[in-house]
Amino acid sequence: MASPSSPVSGAGAPGVEWRTDSAPVDYPAALRDMEERAAAILTGEAVERVWLLEHPPLYTAGTSADPAELIDPRFPVHDAGRGGRYTYHGPGQRIGYLNIDLRDRGRDVRNFVHHLEGWMIDALDELGIAARRAEGRIGIWTDDLDGREAKIGALGIRVRRWVTLHGFSINVDPDLSHFGGIVPCGLAEYPVTSIAALGKPASMTALDAALERHFPSFLNRLGRCSAGLEQCGGGS
């Protein structure tokens, strides 16, 4: 399949496959795998899935990518087919690809994104990082050691017939200089940070465990937004 490593399935939530790959996964292969899984979910041939992985160094271009923001294409550049602009992926960054069926989970894309952010924030909070949303800016933010607002997590999704593709990234201990080849998500005025750069233990295993613990709460919130985000479980 997409990786030579043996994927490990975790608990996650009942009826949802939780897969973790230990070796870097080729980006085009991951896209094909996601597409195939989404199609199989639609026909009832597969269950929903959370897929945690890393990629070799690369840049992805979302549907709103501005070529002027590709400053130094030192790594391969791939069209992602998701929303958003340019993003870096590489070793030391946790990628989470989500094939979630929204047909019975509210059919509300805005709600899904809102609670995806909340899930990431909850997991980082468990690791001692005070992460947050920022008004008017997509992604997950915190303060770096110099007190600057910095981005620690990104997200971009695509929804096809109410099944989601793509997902999120959280910077555990990547080479932050690799972000210098692009304007990350089109936000030149803000730095990028990581769990390691904040002086916290940079454990991919600990982050994965926190994500898994908070995943059932994330799923449970997805059908609650028909009356507006303010009625969807507060800030998370």
Residuewise pLDDT in 10s, the chain (236 residues): 334 344 555 667 789 999 999 999 999 999 999 999 999 999 999 999 999 999 999 999 988 889 999 999 999 999 988 878 899 999 999 999 999 999 999 999 999 999 999 999 999 999 999 999 998 888 999 999 999 999 999 999 999 999 999 999 999 999 999 999 998 766 778 899 999 999 999 999 999 999 999 999 999 999 865 444 443 444 33
What is the pLDDT at residue 7? 56
Characterise 211 by phi-psi region: left (phi > 0), alpha (psi -120 to 50), beta (else): alpha
Token pair for 138:
């997509």
What is the pLDDT at residue 43? 97
What's the pTM value of the predicted model, to 2 decimals? 0.89
User: What's the sign of the alpha-carbon dihedral 190, 135, 127, 23?
Assistant: negative
Q: How far is CA 220 from CA 86, 119, 205, 215, 217, in A?
A: 31, 11, 24, 9, 5
> What is the distance between the alpha carbons of residues 231 and 28, in angstroms, rounded to a whole number?
38
What is the pLDDT at residue 46? 98
b/e per residue, 25-48, with b = 16+ CB within 10 A? bebeebbebbeebbeebeeeebeb
What is the pLDDT at residue 64? 85
What is the pLDDT at residue 1? 38
User: Active-site residue among 124, 165, 185, 202?
Assistant: 185
What is the pLDDT at residue 154? 94
What is the pLDDT at residue 232? 43
What is the residue-wise DSSP string for the chain?
Answer: ---SS--EEEEEETTEEEEE-SS---HHHHHHHHHHHHHHHHTTSS-EEEEEE---SEEEE-TT--GGGB----S-EEE--SSSSEEEE-TTEEEEEEE-B-TTTTS-HHHHHHHHHHHHHHHHHHTT---EEETTEEEEEEE-TTS-EEEEEEEEEEEETTEEEEEEEEESS--GGGGGGB-GGG-TTS-B--TTTTTS---HHHHHHHHHHHHHHHHHHTT--TT-GGGSSTT-
Active site residue 185: yes
Token pair for 198:
């904040």
Token pair for 113:
């994104």
What is the pLDDT at residue 13? 79
CB 94 within 8 A of CB 204: yes
What is the pLDDT at residue 81? 81
